[in-house]
Structure 1
Amino acid sequence: MSAPTGLDSAIEYHIVNSLGWPALRPLQAAAVEPVRGGSDCVLVAPTAGGKTEAALFPLLSDMVEDRWTGTTILYVTPLRALLNNLHPRVLTYCSWLGRTVGLWHGDVGPAERRRMLAERPDILLTTPESLEAMLVSRRVDHERFLGSVRAVVIDELHAFAGSDRGWHLLAVLERIERIAGRKIQRVGLSATVGNPESVGAWMQGSTTGRRPVEVVREDSATTVDPDVVLDYVGSMENAATVISRMHRGEKRLLFAESRRSAEELAFLLRERGVQTYVSHSSLSADERRQSERAFAEAKDTVIVATSTLELGIDIGDLDRVIQIDAPRTVSAFLQRLGRTGRRPGTSRNALFLSTSREGLLDAAAVMLLWKRGFVEDVVAPPHPRHLAAQQFLALALQEGAFGASDWHQWWGDLPLMEDGAEVLDFLRAEEFLVEDSGLLMIGPRAEKEFGQRHFMDLLSTFIADLELRVVAGTREIGFVSPLALPAPQDRGAKPLVLAGRGWSVQHVDWERFTVWVEEIGVKGDVKWPSSAVAQSFELCQAKRKVLLGTDPDVEFSKRIPAALEKLRSEREADVSEDGLVLRRRKVGGTRFWTWAGLKANATLLAGLGLQASGVENESVLLPEWVTIKDIRSCNADAVPRIDPDAVAGLKFSAALPVDLAARTVGERLADSAGVRVVKQSVVASANDREN
């Protein structure tokens, strides 16, 4: 290297002579000083941007030069597959220095775990759930195994920060800090996050004794503009035909937005003689690994995946990403785009194949936001009271008993425990916890609710989003938000609209997150059903702009101009340059085209005193009595009213009072900011047009 890096000399030597790198990447060079200085950091760079090395090389340098011993670095990811993928790489880096790395997750057997407990690895690759299992296990000497931890690397930080698993991780880290007797340095890695400073502050957990977080970004000016093409093919069959004829000899990764679509497309491609593999969450882990391994070793081939391959799992050199219709967010698109352009001399690329005009609208909206530099802010789910309950019970398992008056010492001012006193009162009143001489310990109700298989249910994977799988017979149709379901009393009369068809809801199994349906002939105002999965306010607003004539600045196929013209002609009554359209119908109330998303629409209904059910992303059906004045004066801070059974979908809801659990779910399905914009933008259509 032409200049010193600030890293340990042995690491510098191997970077040049073992990896063959002439220099560090810009992010890696910029990260050395803040990471080695002990700062909490967020490192942001595109997928395959060298973030793992940017975090580990400085930490390994500190480990060697300061002679750290024991397990001093935790490396946490949301996926076991990602840990498995990282393990050989991290093992190589540790071998340069005579250091060791261990892999600990649910698929690692007891013999290997015993070996690691006896011979503590310097770096431990693991998941939050495995850390929790270690803390509550009587076989793990917490102080010996975790008392040496000095730093934690949180990979795919955005995936944690936007879900309950992130809250759980922060709570577990606070408990490990209490065991270690020190603040643990935190280094978060992310390819796509619109608000890294806010996410970094969230990542720090309790604030006592912490310095401001440092954000290190890779300079995007040095990257080449990706090659993005938007095409309209009109059906899944046509998509398969196009894919089978284009890019022959290349390795292609296809993204579909549901398991049903992935399986359908894979079948159609195989019919056309294309070597095709599949990866989605309904397949076994072993089946997915076999598909990913075979794909990595092949050349002229395709793998069709849902979001399972969105994160940084290495599937080998990739020539092209193809997106069927559109991802749900710009962030997801950036993750997928980043799978390409990793080889020298190649560039990032993506081809969008829209199988319907609604899919075209979604794709164009995502592209419009992306080209304007928009990336969604990552916001932690509000009021995780159910996880506060889980943490109290887990601490009782970990310690055997804890003080009823000094529990704050374990989590400090971590926002997770903001409602901790109220939650703890309920746990004691219902005998989830029982008190003896000022100490709280596991009670009979906790044994009943969570005690099976040694409290494994208390430690199991957390639910990221309240989203239900829709099944007709043995066929998966797609996914819906609870807000999209008709109210229980209306399910016989109002259909659920999904995949362009109408479905009568037969049963909702909240325990299994499944909606059982039967197909029916659809009548009424469902000509333009919006997606039953929640879309953001920003995405829906971008869809409105596309319908009003704004084109995204990406390459169009020859089919796109005519398809966009047809789409805009069919939807012209739903949008207006003057504001949002409120349109009276001959019968059945008023259709209000809010273009605000499911959550804002549900909040709007709640603010009008109405039940939030059967909600769509683009519009909402209002009773005839609702006027523009009512909309402008509605309560934007109202909490959507949900199906009472929906609280069963909130993990550990049994450990909360029913009303508090219901309020928690409702608050997570609210969008007050979106409603405030809607209130100021509503206008009647020019001629008060009726359907």
Structure 2
Amino acid sequence: MNSLYASLHPTLQGVLAHRLGWDGLRPVQEETIRAAAEGGDLLVVAGTAGGKTEAALIPVLDAILKGGLAGVCCICISPLKALINDQEERISAICVPAGVTVGKWHGDVPKGERTWGEGDPPHILVTTPESLEVILQDHRLRGDLERLRYVVIDEVHAFAGDQRGVQMRCLCDRLDMIATRPLRRIGLSATIGNPGEVLDWLSGPGRKRRLVAVPPVPGKKRFSFAVSGREGRARAVANLVRGKHALVFVGSRSDAEGLCASMDGLVEHLTVHHSSLSPGVRQAAEESLAGPDPACVICTSTLELGIDIGGLDIVVQAGPPPSVSSFLQRLGRTGRRGGPAIMAFVLDNDLDLMVAVATVEAAMQREVEPLRPPSLPYTVFVQQLLLFLMGRRRVGRQVLLSSLLSLSPFSGFRREDCDAILAALIEDGYLVEDGGFLMLGPAAERGPARSGGRDLLSIFAAGGSWRALTPDGEEAGSLDGRFVAGGTGTVCTLGGRRWRIISLDPAHRIATVVGEGGRRRSSDRRPFWSGSGAPMSRSVAGSVGRILAAGCSPLPLAPPESAAIRGIAEEIGHPFAGDGFVVSERPEGVFVLSCHGGRFNRTLATVLGTELGDGPRIRSGDLWLLISGITGPHPALEVCDAIRRVKGWTPARIAGVLPLLDAEEWKFGTLLPPHLFSGMIRADVDGVDDFVTVLQACGIAGPGENISLPGPQPMSK
């Protein structure tokens, strides 16, 4: 044992050596312990299954044991309830033998267990952001957090890029206020493309911080690629997973249900796992992989994070993954027991093959997508404002605004924008003002603040889902409101089982279902849910561009795969620099090759549509635009000229032509003044400033031209 290990509390040393059987510390654990001794916040980035959880817990336990600390000393925040359930045993294995108690609190924990006795709080509390909001609303439980020292955020990359991450950061700041000291924040992740920026976001201004980045130990990896066509997908997957412990990742909940139905009878012990299934169904799927018998689970990203699901033989990716980060997380599900990591791609066509190969290449170059926290999270501001007023009779306007603006995510908000939000809430009856004091109004009491404010806990809208319950009250899962509009008598698959909808209760949004025996029939409906799949990331699209520019992939592919990729590159028929636009004429219209990802290309299509005027029709994909209906003598050159003109547009002009999302689709979106909702969407969904930066850097090649690098572009007003 080295001196670092010897510096730990003797009880902790004994647990590591005799209970866990460790004969030393892993590199990530050593580096984390050293960094923790220096104080400040930490971001720990290391490969999957690298021991990050223990790396965070060891300095926490050491401090508890050496200081004889009591009360809740550490809160571990996790993005998933399933991940908490999985980590509980792992955390307890190191904590309980040391006399350190552990408690978990989330929505699937029985209500009677979601508390603790007077003076008997756990040392370590594992929870989700939404459940932590519940705890902070309880004055007695909140008082037990005054001796808190640490906040550990697991899978921090699952938070940093969206509004739920803003809520989590607000919670961290509020915990600092309760404990009357800056708490130590420790973030954990395996896949972050910009760890320095994420650490700055996690820590906040004026705080000491340090990045602990331990490169993963190189291990053997085996990839295979099969182009089966959509019709042959089920049989191709079945041939790969039969007789094995396997995970099969798909792009959506509907795809998961559809593939499971198509594989019915081809594979034994087949289950489904996605967010619209009941906790019991998801848990059964997870447990199936822990047993000795072969089992296959078809899943979405719900099994992408660090849940330990045993020794998998193979991971199958049906269709290309949406991002490098997702690919790395999914690859990390296998190869955990000393063997090679094995991932098989089952793809519909040669283009999907190229995208899959490009994703692997980008991962090898460590080109993981950067995470950008929302810059104008006005809806979270409204949520936190209403939560602040819950349980308070009245609060002075200045006290309310000062409290909210002291939270890091809102510190840059303009005071006039905050006043505009307050004015809108007062006008709509969500707030009442009396002599400079504010309180919840009747609209809030009837709406988000009813039932103890349950609707205020989450920043994400339920999306109009209906609970699918049996007559006995057993939960099958949830169905989309548009799907149940098909009415009673509908037979559908959910969780791999056939169900018949026998009644609908619109008042409570409950669809009563009964099990439908027998094999799948052609009349069965595949359920669908609102929300489309994630667009291809710029990292993946850029890697595709490099393959097209080179005409081949450096990966050691089999001859059929190499030939397919070479064929696509030759079909482009033009020298391609990879990071610009190639414009060419085809029978179906003007084709613009644009390897910048789905979000960028959707915005470019809208802007070009405005510039070209009525008449032309523009379709966009992750890698291209297709423009039809141009009647001039040189359509491709006309498109090139239009692209050059829009390169001079200002961000404000671009924002002005983009379609605005429906505020109803955003929780608390309808409570915002329209101009602030629009500003939030333009900044954090459309990414207008980022779009302009990329557009300005792109060269253009028309028919017979090489890509010309852009010079300085004058901005139009």
Matches within 5 A, 1:343-358: 343-344=337-338, 346-358=339-351
Find the aligned partners of 1:143 and 1:532 in 2 and give their Cα distance: 39
Aligned match of 1:147: 146
Pick the aligned partner of 1:414 from 405, 408, 413: 408
Q: Which residue of 1 aligns with 2:565?
A: 564
- Contact kept? 1:607, 1:635, Cα under 8 Å: no
Q: Which letter does structure 2 place at the counterpart of 1:666?
A: R
Select between 663-672 and 386-395 the one with higher mean Cα deviation.
663-672
Residue pair 1:296, 1:316 contacting (<8 A) in 2 also: yes
* CA shift for structure 1 position 76: 0.5
CA deviation after TM superposition for structure 1 residue 446, in Å:
2.0
- SS of equivalent residue, structure 2 residue 16: helix
Mapped partners of 1:532, 1:571: distance in 2: 27
1:594 counterpart = 2:594 = yes
Q: Structure 2 CA distance, aligned partners of 1:145 and 1:576?
A: 60
Tell me the CA shift for residue 513 of structure 1.
7.1
Counterpart of 1:374 (choices 350, 363, 367) is 367
SS in 2 for 1:369: helix
Report the Cα distance in structure 1 between the residues aligned to 2:268 and 2:41, rounded to whole angstroms. 47
- TM-superposed CA distance for 1:367, in Å, is 1.6
Aligned to 2:649: 634
Identical residues among aligned pairs (%): 32
User: What residue number does 1:217 align with?
Assistant: 213
Once the two structures are superposed, what CA deviation does each residue of 1:77-124 show, in whole Å capped at 9, x if it has no partner?
A: 010111111112222322222221111111223322343565211111
Question: Matches of 2:452 and 2:481 in 1, distance apart?
Answer: 32
CA contact (8 A) 1:647 1:662 kept: no
1:556 and 1:243 map into 2 onto residues whose CA distance is 20
Query: Equivalents in 1 of 2:558, 2:223: separation in Å?
Result: 7
**Contact 2:368 / 2:539 at 8 angstroms: preserved in 1?**
no
Q: Taking structure 1 as reference, are residues 514 and 319 closer, same or farther at Cα in structure 2, changes over 3 Å only? A: closer
Name the CA distance, whole Å, in 2 between partners of 1:314 and 1:514: 29
Change (3 A) 1:677 1:558: same
Structure 1 SS opposite 2:535: coil
Structure 2 Cα separation of the partners of residues 272 and 304 of structure 1: 14
Alpha carbons 2:542, 2:579 under 8 Å: kept: no
Distance 1:443 1:687 in 2: 64
Cα distance in 2, alignment partners of residues 157 and 542 from structure 1:
25
For 1:502-581, list aligned pairs within 5 A: 514=530, 533-572=534-573, 579-581=580-582
**8 Å CA contact 2:273, 2:282 repeated in 1:** yes
Q: CA deviation at 1:51?
A: 0.8
Q: Measured at CA, do residues 560 and 142 of structure 1 come closer, stay the same or move farther in structure 2, by a change above 3 Å?
A: same
Give aligned pairs, total: 628
Aligned pair in 2 of structure 1 residues 322, 117: CA closer, same or farther (>3 Å)? farther
The correspondence for 1:665, drawn from 681, 684, 687, is: 681
Offset of residue 463 of structure 1: 5.9
Whether the aligned pair in 2 keeps the contact of 1:194 and 1:375 (CA below 8 Å) is: yes
Q: Equivalent residue for 1:177?
A: 176
Match of 2:319 among 300, 325, 332: 325
Deviation at 1:427, TM superposition (A): 2.8
CA distance in 2, matches of 1:434, 1:425: 10
Query: Kindly tell me: are residues 421 and 550 of structure 1, through their superposed partners in 2, closer, same or farther at Cα, counting changes over 3 Å?
Result: farther
How far apart, in 2, do the equivalents of 1:661 and 1:673 lie? 19
1:152-183 C-alpha deviation (Å, 9 max, x unpaired): 00000000101111100111222222222111
Secondary structure at the counterpart of residue 188 of structure 1: strand
Question: How far 1:298 sits from its partner (Å)?
Answer: 3.3
| Deviations 1:263-322, CA, capped at 9 Å, x for gaps | 333334443244322212222221011111122113433222111100011211112222
Q: Show structure 2 runs of 5+ residues with no match.
A: 464-478, 494-527, 612-616, 631-637, 707-717
Q: Distance in 2 between matches of 1:642 and 1:674?
A: 12
Counterpart residue type for residue 215 of structure 1: L
2:89 is matched with which residue? 88
Find the counterpart in structure 2 of residue 494 from structure 1: none
Amino acid at match of 1:665: I
CA distance in 1, matches of 2:92, 2:602: 49
User: Helix, strand or coil: the match of 2:622?
Assistant: coil
1:169 to 1:416, Cα distance in 2 relative to 1, 3 A: same
Give the drift of 1:47: 1.4
Q: Structure 2 CA distance, aligned partners of 1:398 and 1:199?
A: 34
Q: 1:258 to 1:551 in 2, by over 3 A?
A: farther
1:519 corresponds in structure 2 to none
Paired residue for 2:195? 196
**Structure 1 position 261 matched with structure 2 position 259:** no
**Match for residue 282 of structure 1 among 273, 276, 289:** 276
Stretch deviating more after TM superposition (62-71 or 551-560): 551-560
What displacement does 1:421 show? 4.4
Where in structure 1 are there 5+ consecutive unaligned residues? 477-511, 516-530
1:103 matched to 2:104? The reply is: yes
Look up the equivalent residue of 1:673 and give its one-letter code. Answer: D
**SS of the residue aligned with 1:352?**
strand
Q: Distance in 2 between matches of 1:587 and 1:294?
A: 49
The one-letter amino acid of 1:455's match is G
Amino acid at match of 2:645: D
Please tell me whether the aligned partners of residues 330 and 369 of structure 1 are also in contact (alpha carbons under 8 angstroms): yes
CA spacing shift, 1:295–1:471, aligned 2, 3 Å: farther
| Aligned CA distance change for structure 1 residues 640 and 167 (closer, same or farther; 3 Å) | farther
Would you say 1:297 and 2:291 are equivalent positions?
yes
Relative to structure 2, which stretch is displaced further, 232-241 or 154-163?
A: 232-241
| Distance (whole Å) between structure 1 residues aligned to residue 576 and residue 649 of structure 2 | 22
Q: Distance in 1 between matches of 2:141 and 2:436?
A: 24
Label 1:143 to 1:304 Cα distance change in 2 as closer, same or farther (>3 A): closer
Cα separation, 2, equivalents of 1:579 and 1:318: 41
Distance (Å, rounded) in 2 between the aligned partners of 1:613 and 1:437: 55
Shift of 1:636: 4.8
Cα distance, 1:249 vs structure 2: 4.4
**2:661–2:681: 8 Å Cα contact kept in structure 1?**
no
Matched, 1:445 2:443: yes
Aligned pair partner of 2:353 in 360, 364, 370: 360
Are residue 129 (structure 1) and residue 130 (structure 2) matched? yes
Q: What is the letter of the counterpart of residue 600 of structure 1?
A: F
Question: In 1, are the aligned partners of 2:618 and 2:626 still within 8 Å (CA)?
Answer: no
Query: For the residues of structure 2 that align with 1:166 and 1:129, how far apart are their CA atoms?
Result: 11
Partner SS state of residue 141, structure 1: helix
- Could you tell me whether the CA contact under 8 Å between 1:26 and 1:219 is conserved in 2? no
Determine the C-alpha separation between the residues in 2 that align with 1:77 and 1:280. Answer: 18
Q: Tell me, yes or no, if the aligned pair for 1:605 and 1:640 is still in contact at 8 Å.
A: no
Amino acid at match of 1:619: W
Report the alpha carbon displacement of residue 257 of structure 1 after superposing the two structures with TM: 1.4
Secondary structure class of the residue paired with 1:231: strand
Q: Secondary structure at the match of 1:375?
A: coil
| Distance in 1 of aligned mates of 2:184 and 2:533 | 41
Q: Return the alpha-carbon distance in structure 2 between the equivalents of residues 687 and 552 of structure 1.
A: 25
Cα deviation digits, residues 550-601 of structure 1 (max 9, x gap): 444434245312332443344447967795123467898x543322223223
Q: 1:614 to 1:146 in 2, by over 3 A?
A: farther
The answer to whether the 8 A contact 1:175-1:411 is kept is: no
Match status 1:676 vs 2:687:
no
The answer to whether the 8 Å contact 1:230/1:554 transfers is: no
Task: Return closer, same or farther for 1:553/1:19 CA change in 2, 3 Å cut-off.
Answer: farther
Give distance in 2, aligned partners of 1:675 and 1:99.
53
- The aligned amino acid for 2:228 is G
Partner letter of residue 181 of structure 1?
Answer: T
In structure 2, distance between residues paired with 1:615 and 1:424: 40
After TM superposition, the score normalised by the length of structure 2 is 0.80
- Residue range with higher mean Cα deviation, 393-402 or 281-290: 393-402
Q: Secondary structure at the match of 2:610?
A: coil
Match for residue 668 of structure 2? 652
| SS of structure 2 residue aligned to 1:541 | helix
Moved more, 557-566 or 615-624: 615-624
State the one-letter code of the partner of 2:21.
Answer: G
Contact map agreement 2:288 2:295 (CA 8 A) in 1: no
Query: Would the alpha carbon gap of residues 171 and 124 (structure 1) be closer, same or farther in structure 2, given more than 3 Å must change?
Result: same
